[in-house]
Amino acid sequence: MIVDTSGNLLARNTKLRNTYQIRSALSRSELAIVYTARLLDNREKVIVKEFFPNALALRGMDRKTVTCGASMQSKYVEFMHYFLREGQMLKELSHPGIVGYIDHFEENGTAYLVMEYCAGKTLDRMMKEEAAPTYDPTFLYHTLLPLIDAMEYIHDKGIIHRDIKPGNIMIGENGNVKLIDFGSAVHFEGKEHPIFTTAGYSPLEFYSNRSQQGPVSDIYSLAATLYYCRKGTPPPDVPGRLFADHAERIQIENAGLSLLPYVIRRGLEVQANKRCRSLRWFKAALRAEYWIKKGKRPTLTVR
Ligand SMILES: Nc1ncnc2c1ncn2[C@@H]1O[C@H](COP(=O)(O)OP(=O)(O)O)[C@@H](O)[C@H]1O
Ligand SMILES: [Mg+2]
């Protein structure tokens, strides 16, 4: 739960669309506030994400309405359009490894996205709070393989997530995984893509709105996530690597014949055309690590 010192958060019990009742705020970023909420009819716990761009928006005296100065109005509308696209995108998707869509709508001068509540923690909170052994082959097998399945599913639909990182991967108590935050996702056949980047996890092509982007771009972020699982920090961010790519800094020590460090390194190639292009390599490497740990003979078929 986050503490409201700004008066910008929706008050507890605020009703939206006469259907959802806000409980408490979970997280706040530059563009949105995430709350836990309940369905008024059956009390089911859900997540409500509210469009609230920090730099542009003001909360009204009624503690609901969101306004924006006239000079910023066009930016506000543009960003709200991207926000609503997250709802549109999620609505198209249905997969056990992807947060479930419930609703999206405009109200109070802003926009809301209602989603399934995923119990658990993000992968980065798990690492920070529990120092969980996230590079353990069993953990990787049970959490990242289903995540890769979810990535394959969206790629087959012509969508790239564009913000795969530990903060956008929810892990439940029983280890089940859900990919969240489709706020940067796009249909990759489009010609222009708005620039959204996350230091350490975004590939070079995300730093331009005219670049070629595709599944291989999410592969970079997946490799960066695996790197984080190993090292506890993301790889150096890509603009810095362009000028001084300290290769040794992205080295991951190779345990025996392990395929995983190799696949991670190939996934982290700065130039997309040199990068490992298929998620199948990651799946094969994770399976091999798992079976080696179990003491069984791995099958190295890339399926
Ligand atoms: N469906 C969900 N279930 C549980 N927690 C969630 C859910 N969606 C978001 N959160 C929490 O809110 C945080 C921010 O959500 P996210 O969609 O990533 O927004 P942002 O665009 O601000 O990064 C997440 O890191 C997670 O802690
Ligand atoms: Mg996020």
Dihedral (Cα; 158, 161, 164, 169), 10-degree rounding: -100
**What is the rounded average pLDDT for all residues in the chain?**
90
Tokens of 182: 């489709």
- Could you tell me if 197 and 206 are in contact, meaning their C-beta atoms sit under 8 angstroms apart? yes
Give the C-alpha separation, 86 to 140, whole Å. Answer: 28
Confidence at residue 271, expressed as pLDDT on a 0 to 100 scale:
92
Residue 257 pLDDT grade (very low, low, confident, very high; cuts 50, 70, 90): low
Q: Is 181 in the pocket of ligand 1 (CB under 6 A)?
A: yes
Q: Which of 116-130, 188-202, 210-224, 262-276 has the lowest mean pLDDT?
A: 188-202
CA of 34 to the centre of ligand 1 (A): 6
- Residue range 84-115, pLDDT digits in tens: 999 999 999 999 999 999 999 999 999 999 99
CA of 67 to the centre of ligand 1 (A): 23
Domains located in the chain, CATH noted = 15-116 (3.30.200.20), 120-293 (1.10.510.10)
The position carrying tokens 């120092």 is 131
Give the C-alpha separation, 44 to 30, whole Å. Answer: 28
The residue whose CB lies within 8 Å of the most ligand 1 atoms, and thus the one to mutate among 180, 197, 202, is 180
Give the C-alpha separation, 251 to 240, whole Å. Answer: 16
Confidence at residue 80, expressed as pLDDT on a 0 to 100 scale:
96
CA of 34 to the centre of ligand 2 (A): 10
Q: Is 36 in the pocket of ligand 1 (CB under 6 A)?
A: no
CA of 292 to the centre of ligand 2 (A): 34
More confident residue, 194 or 116: 116
Question: What is the distance, to the nearest Å, from the Cα of residue 231 to the centroid of all Cα atoms in its chain?
Answer: 19
Q: Choosing from 124, 163, 181, 218, which is the catalytic residue?
A: 163
Stretch 46-69: mean pLDDT? 94
User: 21 has which bridge partners?
Assistant: 15, 38
Give the C-alpha separation, 5 to 145, whole Å. Answer: 40
Instruction: Flag whether pLDDT at 253 surpasses 80.
Output: no
Q: Is 19 in the pocket of ligand 1 (CB under 6 A)?
A: no
Give the C-alpha separation, 22 to 195, whole Å. Answer: 31
- Which residue's CA is the nearest one to ligand 1's atom 13? 27
Is 156 catalytic? The answer is: no
Q: Which of 50-59, 90-99, 152-161, 229-238 has the lowest mean pLDDT?
A: 229-238
Q: Which helix (H) or strand (E) holds 110?
A: strand 110-116
Q: Is 223 in the pocket of ligand 1 (CB under 6 A)?
A: no
Burial class (CB in 10 A: 0-12, 13-18, 19+), 71: exposed
User: 138 has which bridge partners?
Assistant: none
- Residue range 6-56, pLDDT digits in tens: 779 999 999 999 999 999 999 999 999 999 999 999 999 999 999 999 999
Confidence at residue 106, expressed as pLDDT on a 0 to 100 scale:
98
More confident residue, 130 or 250: 130
Find all residues with CB under 8 Å of 205, minimum gap 6, and list them: 211, 212, 213, 217, 272
Count helices and strands in the chain by DSSP H and E runs: 7, 13
Q: Is 177 in the pocket of ligand 1 (CB under 6 A)?
A: no
The residue whose CB lies within 8 Å of the most ligand 1 atoms, and thus the one to mutate among 34, 114, 121, 124, is 34
- For 253, phi and psi rounded to 5 degrees? -60, 140
